[in-house]
Amino acid sequence: MRSKTGGSGGAEGSGAP
């Protein structure tokens, strides 16, 4: 379940950019 990636080069999965 992925939320927001953050936008620029982030880890997908959480809300961490």
- What digits encode the pLDDT tens for the residues 1-17? 556 565 666 666 666 56
Burial 1-17, CB ≥16 within 10 A → b, else e: eeeeeeeeeeeeeeeee
Check residue 4 and give its pLDDT.
59
Whether the model pTM is above 0.85: no
Tokens standing for residue 4:
């927001």
